C-alpha cells in the first residue's frame, strides 16, 4: 500500500513548478498510432523510458480474483519468448538494463533504464514481455507463494494496518478500498489463463502512454515505438468496466477507530475527502496542504507537533489523487500515552486552517518553495520521464513545464481559504489509530 500511495504522491511532489531552462518536450508519433513524449539530453549515454497502461490497475480486478493486476505485473519479468525468467534476467544484467513493472489502483507502469548502446535490446525485451509472456506454471506458483507470504508479512506493520483500515472506512464498497495484493484465497482462484486474458484485454494501443528522456533522438524513438508496440491490440477490452466516482464516506462518530497493537508508539492515519487532479481548485488545495503538513519544517503540523512539543518524529499530510477521486491524508506516530495529545493538536490546527488562519505570508513562502524547488526534483532522467508520463496521463499539455509556475503563482489567499473551508470540516475527519488509546487498552 505504501508504494501505491507513493506513486500518486510522488507525482504531486514532482508537480511543483518548472524553471528548466533548456528542456524541450517533443512528441513522437508513428503510423500505427503509438505516440510518446520525449526530451533529448545527451549529457550522459543513458535513457530512461516509462510506459503506462491506463485503467488496468488493482481497482479493476474482477471480484473474487483480487490481486490479479499485482501478480500479473510480478510475472512480467519471469520469461518471454524463448527466454526463461532466469535467461531474461541474465540478459538484463549483462546489458545493464533496469526493467521492472508496478501497478497502483488505476494503472500499470513499466520502468526502464538503459545505456544508449543497448536501447535496441531494451525495446526488444519490452516487446517480448508485452506480447509473448511465458507465465510458466512453476514460476506462477512460486510468485503466488511469494505474494501470499508478503500479504502475511505486511500485517506485521502498523502503518499498513492503519492505512488499510482507513481506506476501508473512507472508501466503503468502492474498489479503491481493496487490498492490491488480494488475499491468499483470491490468489488461489487466479489461473494462468486469467493472466493471459488480463494482459491481452488490458495492454492495448488506446490506453498506452509512453515517455523517454535521455540520449535518444526522435527518429530512434520512432523506430522503437514501431517495433515494440506494433503487435498490441488496438483497443482495451470493453469488458473493463469504468469505475464509479469515489465517494469518501463520513466517519461514524468523532472518536478514532482504534486497533489494539502491542507497540510502545501508536500511529494514526487521519484524513478527508480530497480533490481529483483536474479539479479547478486543485492548486489552491495543493498549497493549503503544503502549509498544513508538507512534512518540512515550514509546515504547521511539523511546527506544532514536533518542533514545539516533541511529540513525534514524523508528522505530515499529503494529497493522493486517483482517476476517480482524491483524498487528503495525514500521518503521525507518538508514544502511546501521548497519541491523543498529538491528535488533539492536529485537529486544532486543521480547524484553524478551515477557519481562514493561513496568512498571505505563509502562502507567499509556500509559493516560493514550490516554484524554486521544482528543478531539484527533475535532476535526473528517470524523474523527468516520470513527469512526462504524468503530464500525459493527466492531460496537462506539452507546455506544462513552463505553465506550472504560473498556475502556482496565480493562486490567491481567497481561493485557499475557500477550499480549506470546504474540505477540512473536522467532523468529516476519519481517524484510525493502531496501538492504544486512552480508555481502550
Partner 1 sequence: MRHHVVTCIFKIYTLCVLLAVSSWGAHADTPKENFFTLDNGLSVLVIQNHKVPAVSHTIWYRVGGIDEPEGKSGIAHFLEHLMFKGTDTIASGQFSKIVTKNGGNDNAFTSYDYTAYYQKIASDKLELVMKMEADRMVNLTLDTRDVITERDVVLEERRTRIDRHPRNILLEQMRASLFLNHPYRRPLIGWENDIKELDKQDALDFYQKHYAPNNAILIVSGDVSVSHVKALAEKYYGVIPKMDLQPRVFPTEPIHKVPRRLVYEDDKVRKPELIKFYLAPSMNYGEHKHVYALELLSRILGGSQTSRLYRDLVIDKGLAANVETGYNGVAVGPGVFSLYILPSEGIAVETVELEFKRVVEEMIKNGIDQDEIRRSKNVLKSEAIYAKDGLQGIAHIYGSVLVKGLSIDYVDRWEENIESVTEEDLIRAAQHVIQEDNSSVTGILRSPKT
Using the minimum distance from each CB to partner 1, give the nearer residue, 173 or 314: 314
From the list 4-12, 310-318, 401-409, 412-420, the region that binds partner 1 by CB under 8 A is 310-318
Binding partner 1 (rule: CB under 8 A), the pick from 64, 310, 397, 438 is 310
Q: At what angle do helices 413-423 and 282-293 cross, to 10 degrees?
A: 80
Interaction of residue 235 with partner 1, rule CB under 8 A: no
Segment 39 to 98, residues that bind partner 1, using CB under 8 A: 41, 43-46, 74, 85-86, 89-90, 93-96, 98
Here's the x/- map for partner 1, 353-382, by CB under 8 A: it reads as ------------x--xx-xxx-xx-xxxxx
- Contact indicator for 67, 58 with CB cutoff of 8 Å: yes
Interaction of residue 142 with partner 1, rule CB under 8 A: yes
Shortest Cβ 111–partner 1 spacing (Å): 13
Q: How far is 291 from 293, CA to CA, in rounded Å? A: 6
Using the minimum distance from each CB to partner 1, give the nearer residue, 36 or 267: 267
Cell 496568512 belongs to residue? 359
Give the end-to-end CA distance of the chain in Å, rounded to a whole number. Answer: 27
- Contact indicator for 214, 122 with CB cutoff of 8 Å: no
Using the minimum distance from each CB to partner 1, give the nearer residue, 98 or 189: 98
Cell numbers given for 244: 464509479
Binding partner 1 (rule: CB under 8 A), the pick from 27, 235, 254, 313 is 313
Interaction of residue 106 with partner 1, rule CB under 8 A: no
Residue 414: Cβ within 10 Å count: 10
Segment 256 to 285, residues that bind partner 1, using CB under 8 A: 261-265, 267
Interaction of residue 148 with partner 1, rule CB under 8 A: yes
Residue burial 185-195, b: 16+ Cβ < 10 Å; e: rest? ebbeebeeebb
Q: How many residues contact partner 1, by CB under 8 A?
A: 70
Using the minimum distance from each CB to partner 1, give the nearer residue, 114 or 207: 114
Q: How far is 182 from 127, CA to CA, in rounded Å? A: 28
Shortest Cβ 300–partner 1 spacing (Å): 12
Q: How far is 436 from 441, CA to CA, in rounded Å? A: 6
3 state SS of 315: strand
Using the minimum distance from each CB to partner 1, give the nearer residue, 55 or 78: 78
3 state SS of 228: helix
Shortest Cβ 88–partner 1 spacing (Å): 10
Q: How far is 151 from 94, CA to CA, in rounded Å? A: 32
- Contact indicator for 304, 402 with CB cutoff of 8 Å: no
Question: Which stretches of the chain bind partner 1, using CB under 8 A?
Answer: 19-21, 41, 43-46, 74, 85-86, 89-90, 93-96, 98, 100, 113, 115, 139, 142, 145-150, 152-156, 158, 261-265, 267, 295-298, 306-314, 333-335, 365, 368-369, 371-373, 375-376, 378-382
Amino acid at each position: 500500500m505504501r508504494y501505491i500511495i507513493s506513486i500518486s504522491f510522488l507525482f504531486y511532489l514532482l508537480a511543483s513548478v518548472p524553471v528548466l531552462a533548456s528542456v524541450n518536450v517533443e512528441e513522437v508519433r508513428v503510423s500505427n498510432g503509438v505516440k510518446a513524449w520525449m526530451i533529448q539530453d545527451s549529457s550522459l549515454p543513458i535513457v530512461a523510458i516509462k510506459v503506462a497502461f491506463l485503467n488496468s490497475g488493482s481497482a479493476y480486478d474482477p471480484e473474487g480474483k483480487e490481486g490479479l493486476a499485482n501478480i500479473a505485473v510480478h510475472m512480467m519479468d519471469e520469461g518471454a519468448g524463448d527466454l526463461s525468467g532466469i535467461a531474461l534476467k541474465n540478459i538484463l544484467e549483462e546489458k545493464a538494463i533496469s526493467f521492472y513493472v508496478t501497478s497502483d489502483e488505476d494503472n500499470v507502469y513499466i520502468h526502464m533504464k538503459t545505456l544508449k548502446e543497448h536501447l535496441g535490446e531494451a525495446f526488444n525485451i519490452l516487446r517480448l514481455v508485452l506480447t509473448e509472456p511465458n507465465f510458466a506454471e512453476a514460476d506462477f506458483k512460486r510468485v503466488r507463494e511469494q505474494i501470499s507470504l508478503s500479504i502475511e508479512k505486511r500485517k506485521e506493520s502498523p502503518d499498513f494496518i492503519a492505512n488499510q483500515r482507513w481506506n476501508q472506512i473512507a472508501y466503503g464498497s468502492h474498489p479503491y478500498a481493496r487490498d492490491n495484493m488480494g488475499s491468499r484465497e483470491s490468489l488461489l482462484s487466479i489461473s494462468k489463463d486469467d493472466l493471459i486474458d488480463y494482459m491481452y484485454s488490458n495492454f492495448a494501443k488506446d490506453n498506452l502512454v509512453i515517455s523517454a528522456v535521455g540520449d535518444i533522438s526522435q527518429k530512434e524513438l520512432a523506430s522503437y515505438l514501431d517495433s515494440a508496440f506494433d503487435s498490441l491490440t488496438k483497443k482495451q477490452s470493453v469488458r473493463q468496466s469504468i469505475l464509479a466516482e469515489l465517494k469518501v464516506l463520513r466517519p461514524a462518530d468523532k472518536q478514532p477507530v482504534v486497533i489494539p497493537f502491542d507497540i510502545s508508539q501508536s500511529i494514526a492515519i487521519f484524513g478527508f475527502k480530497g480533490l481529483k487532479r483536474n479539479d479547478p481548485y486543485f492548486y489552491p488545495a495543493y498549497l493549503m496542504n503544503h502549509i498544513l503538513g508538507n512534512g518540512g519544517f515550514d509546515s504547521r503540523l511539523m511546527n506544532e507537533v514536533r518542533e514545539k512539543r516533541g511529540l513525534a518524529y514524523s508528522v505530515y499530510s499529503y494529497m493522493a489523487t486517483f482517476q476517480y477521486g482524491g483524498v487528503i491524508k495525514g500521518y503521525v506516530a507518538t508514544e502511546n500515552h501521548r497519541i491523543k495529545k498529538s491528535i488533539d493538536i492536529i485537529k486544532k490546527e486543521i480547524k484553524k486552517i478551515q477557519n481562514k488562519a493561513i496568512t498571505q505570508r505563509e502562502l507567499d513562502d509556500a509559493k516560493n518553495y514550490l516554484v524554486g524547488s521544482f528543478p531539484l526534483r527533475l535532476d535526473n532522467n528517470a524523474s523527468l520521464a516520470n513527469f512526462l508520463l504524468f503530464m500525459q496521463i493527466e492531460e496537462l499539455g506539452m507546455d506544462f513545464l513552463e505553465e506550472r509556475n504560473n498556475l502556482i503563482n496565480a493562486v490567491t489567499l481567497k481561493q485557499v481559504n475557500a477550499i480549506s473551508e470546504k474540505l477540512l470540516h473536522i467532523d468529516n475527519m476519519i481517524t484510525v489509530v493502531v496501538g492504544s488509546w486512552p480508555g481502550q487498552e
